[in-house]
Chain A
Amino acid sequence: MRVAAALLAITLALPAAATTTFRVDDSLTLPSESNQAMKWRSLAPNRTAGNAVEGTSVITIRLDTSPWLNRNGKIYMALGEQPIGQVSAEWTTQGRLLPGQLISGNRTLVYSGPIKARTIEDTIALKITADGRRLVAAQRLQFYFEIDVD
């Protein structure tokens, strides 16, 4: 009985399909570093807008997908946890990548399908929102991309 139980556990632990995650080189993204002046969403504190500050940047994303050419992959944009608490990002695209939103500490799908080109490029309008009560000094937000390939 003890052997059977061990075999069952091993069977359940096996994934349906092996997926590997890689960081995607986005070193050709422009600008690679930008400064965003944040504005109070509402100049006066109130129940609706609270104490949020927000700002928008336009960024041309260039992802080097050559290592995964002709493979299927899912690309995600990610942002790590921030010391100033929850930071949210919301973006629109020109269509090459998916629009979406992202909360710090998470990642969001921006591309899914076959990798047919060595580079995926799109221009996004990125709106960032943070808690103005916690954002008391400049904060660096380092966004990055990951790809899951089968």
Chain B
Amino acid sequence: MTRSHPSSATLLAALLCAVATTAVAYTVNINAGTRAIYLQVGNGSFTGTYSGGGTPGNNATINKVSVSVPAAQVGNGTAQQMTSDSTQAVSFYDNYSFCNPPVQVYIGGFYRLPGTTGTATLSVSTSAANLVDAAGDKIPFTQISWASSGNGDTGTEAIPGGTFTGGTQTLTTFKVNTWNESCHTFSYLNASSVAAGTYTGRATYTLSAP
């Protein structure tokens, strides 16, 4: 009896080795998706369709918002609604007619990142503190504000309304893997009398992620 025990143990070990050396699974290592970030202000480009796995494109268009203030109303404190040359009405999210150009300017985008945590920050910077005309006269950027809405929207807008500060300001943050969009209607606050002229300035929107 005592001699049979080692034999049993040896046999069992041999069988286990045979099983262990037989590969019975092929392995596919899958890696996380790549990071991506997209921002659209005004007119944008998109290739393909969502259902076909569409891809955002680059669009170099710089849209303009403007208003001509009647002479009798200059500086009377009545805000003047601006209009844009943007023609972007549909959202590339689902081709829904979301904005109403030329009054509204579409702004939207997303931040692609594997996982569920993380944010991208949307900010806007103006070219200077003031809009300037050919004679060097100035209107502070703080005289321009915007309201935020969107067809069919309820509740808080993804990119809320505000007023330019004349510098760099944070507008909102985008949560990862969500589409964020709003339509902005710009207004000139018309708070003070200024010299006649065409005043221009540029606002640059930036979506950044760590």
Given A24-B24, A25-B23, A133-B114, verify A46-B29 contact (CB < 8 Å). Answer: no
Query: Across the interface, do B33 and A26 meet the contact criterion of CB distance under 8 Å?
Result: no
Q: How large is the interface on B (under 10, 10 to 19, 20 to 34, 35 or more residues)?
A: 20 to 34
Bound-complex Cα distance A136 to B51 (A): 24
| Interface presence of B34 (CB below 8 A) | yes
The reply on B55 being an interface residue by CB < 8 A is: yes
**Docked pose: A128 CA to B25 CA in angstroms:** 16
CB distance from A148 to the nearest CB of B (A): 15
Closest to B26 in A: A29
B179 touches A136 (CB 8 A): no
Instruction: Tell yes or no: A68 within 8 A of B by CB.
Output: no
B interface, by DSSP: helix, strand, loop or mixed?
loop
Identify which of A44, A61, A126, A141 contacts B179 (C-beta below 8 A).
A44
Residues of B within 8 A of A144 (CB): 24-26
Chain A residues, Cβ within 8 Å of B8 = none
Are B53 and A138 in contact, CB atoms less than 8 angstroms apart? no
Is B177 interfacial (CB-CB < 8 Å)?
yes
Q: Is the beta-carbon distance between B93 and A44 smaller than 8 angstroms?
A: yes
Known: A27-B23, A59-B26, A137-B32. 20 other contacts (CB 8 A): A24-B24, A32-B23, A35-B28, A38-B31, A39-B33, A39-B34, A41-B53, A43-B36, A45-B177, A48-B51, A61-B26, A128-B28, A133-B114, A133-B116, A134-B116, A135-B30, A136-B114, A141-B30, A143-B25, A143-B26
Residues on A with beta carbons closer than 8 Å to the beta carbon of B92: 44
- B residues in contact with A142, CB < 8 Å: 25-27
Q: Given the known inter-chain contacts A51-B177, A53-B33, A133-B115, please indicate yes or no for A44 contacting B28, CB distance below 8 A.
A: no
Q: A44-B50, A44-B56, A133-B177 are in contact. Are A38 and B24 (CB under 8 A)?
A: no
Q: Which residue of A lies closest to B48 (CB)?
A: A42
B-contacting residues, A97-150, CB 8 Å: 126, 128, 130, 132-145
8 Å CB interface, B76-135 against A: 92-94, 110, 112, 114-116
Enumerate B153-196 residues with CB–CB distance to A below 8 Å. 176-179
Which range contains the number of A residues in contact with the other chain?
Answer: 35 or more
Look across to chain B and name the residue whose beta carbon is closest to the beta carbon of A77.
B26
For the complex, give the distance between the alpha carbons of A143 and B33 in Å: 21
What residues of B have a CB within 8 angstroms of the CB of A69 in the complex?
none
In the complex, are the beta carbons of A57 and B33 less than 8 A apart?
Answer: no
Contact indicator A38/B179 (Cβ below 8 Å): no
Is the beta-carbon distance between B22 and A25 smaller than 8 angstroms?
Answer: yes
Instruction: For the complex, give the distance between the alpha carbons of A61 and B26 in Å.
Output: 9
